Amino acid sequence: MSDDELPPSKLGTKEHWDMVYEREVRVFEDVGDEGEVWFGETAVSKMRKWAVKHLPPSITPIRILECGSGNGTLLLSFLTSPAEKGPQPFHLTGIDYCDSAAVLARSIEQTRRETLEEEIDEDEEVINPCEVEWRVEDLLRKEFGQEEKWDLVMDKGTFDALCLSDEPVDESGRLPSQVYPERMSKLVKEGGFFLITSCNFTEEEIKKKYTKDGLGFQYQQVESSANLSVLPLLLLAQLLLSIAFHAVYSSSVPHPSFAFGGKAGTTVCTVAFQKVAGTPQPDTAMPKVNGITNGITNGLNDDLFVCIDGGGTKTDVAIASSSKGIVARAAGGTGNMAEVGLETAYETIVNTVLEAVSKLPEGNPTRVKTVNGGTVTNGSSHSTVWFEDVWIGISGCDTLLDQRRMSDRLAPFFGRQSVSILNDAHLLGGALLTNHCPWGVAVIAGTGSVVVAFEIRGNGEVVQVARRGGMGYLLGDEGSAYDLGRCAIRNAVDDYDAGEEVKGGLAKKIRDHFEVAETGEVIGKVYELDTTLAVIDAMNERKLRVASLSRPILESFMSSPPDPLAVRAMRDATGGLARSIAPLVSQILRKPMDGGKERRMEEAGLVMGGGVIRQAAYREVLIKELKGLGVEFGKMEVLSDVAGEGALGLVEKAKGRMNGGGHL
Cα radius of gyration (the chain): 26
- Which domains are present in the chain? 10-290 (3.40.50.150), 295-422 (3.30.420.40), 435-664 (3.30.420.40)
Q: What is residue 582's predicted lDDT score, i.e. its pLDDT?
A: 93
Burial of 171 (0-12, 13-18, 19+ CB in 10 A): exposed
- Burial of 232-256, coded b for 16+ CB within 10 Å and e otherwise, reads ebbeeeebeeeeebbbbbbbbbbbb
Give me the helices (H) in 72-175, please: 73-76, 99-119, 158-162
Each residue's pLDDT tens digit, 564-596: 999 999 999 999 999 999 999 998 888 887 777
Listing DSSP states for 309-371 in one string gives: EE-SS-EEEEEEETTTEEEEEEEES---HHHH-HHHHHHHHHHHHHHHHHTS-TTS-S-EE-T
288: closest CA among 231, 228, 334? 228
Flag whether pLDDT at 338 surpasses 80. no
To the nearest whole number, what is the mean pLDDT of the chain?
78
- Give strand pairing partners of 604: 439
Burial of 333 (0-12, 13-18, 19+ CB in 10 A): middle
Burial of 279 (0-12, 13-18, 19+ CB in 10 A): middle
Measured distance CA(314)–CA(331) in Å, rounded: 7
Q: What is residue 67's predicted lDDT score, i.e. its pLDDT?
A: 92
224: closest CA among 291, 268, 289? 289
515: closest CA among 525, 505, 501? 525
Residue type, 469: G
Mean pLDDT confidence for 491-520: 91
* Cβ–Cβ < 8 Å for 391, 309: no
**Rounded (5°) CA angle 42-445-487:** 140
- 183-197, 227-241, 568-582: segment of lowest average pLDDT: 227-241
Burial of 576 (0-12, 13-18, 19+ CB in 10 A): buried
Flag whether pLDDT at 418 surpasses 70. yes
Measured distance CA(414)–CA(386) in Å, rounded: 7
Mean pLDDT confidence for 198-227: 62
318: closest CA among 347, 359, 348? 359
Flag whether pLDDT at 281 surpasses 90. no
DSSP state of 303: -
Listing DSSP states for 446-515 in one string gives: SSSEEEEEEEE-TTS-EEEEEEEE-S-TTT--TTSHHHHHHHHHHHHHHHHHTT---SSHHHHHHHHHHT
* Cβ–Cβ < 8 Å for 93, 135: yes
Residue 144 or 196, more confident: 196
* Cβ–Cβ < 8 Å for 195, 50: yes
**Alpha carbon 245 to chain centroid distance?**
38
User: What CA–CA distances, in Å, run from 281 to 212, 213, 277, 285?
Assistant: 11, 11, 13, 12
Each residue's pLDDT tens digit, 538-552: 888 888 889 889 889
Mean pLDDT confidence for 382-395: 88
Each residue's pLDDT tens digit, 438-473: 888 989 888 888 898 888 877 667 788 888 887 778
- Give strand pairing partners of 156: 197
- Give strand pairing partners of 393: 309, 422
Q: Is the link from the previous residue into 280 a cis peptide, with omega within 30 of 0?
A: no
Listing DSSP states for 372-433 in one string gives: TS-EE-TTSSS-SS--SEEEEEETT--SHHHHHHHHHHHHHHTTSS---EE-GGGGGGHHHH
Flag whether pLDDT at 356 surpasses 60. yes
Listing DSSP states for 505-569 in one string gives: HHHHHHHHHHT-SSGGGHHHHHH---TTS-HHHHHHHHHHHHHTTHHHHHHHHTSSSPPHHHHHH
Flag whether pLDDT at 262 surpasses 70. no
Coil, helix or strand for 642? helix
Local confidence band at 628 (pLDDT 50, 70, 90 cut-offs): very high
- 345-349, 390-394, 410-414, 638-642: segment of lowest average pLDDT: 638-642
Q: What is residue 334's predicted lDDT score, i.e. its pLDDT?
A: 81
DSSP state of 120: S
φ/ψ of 357, rounded to 5, equals -60, -35
Cβ contacts of 10-13, under 8 Å, gap ≥ 24:
11/161, 11/164, 11/260, 11/261, 11/359, 12/161, 12/162, 12/163, 12/164, 12/165, 12/166, 12/167, 12/176, 12/261, 13/165, 13/167
**pTM for the model:** 0.49
Each residue's pLDDT tens digit, 20-47: 888 888 888 877 777 666 666 777 888 8
Listing DSSP states for 224-260 in one string gives: --TT-------SHHHHTTS-SEEEEEEEEE------S
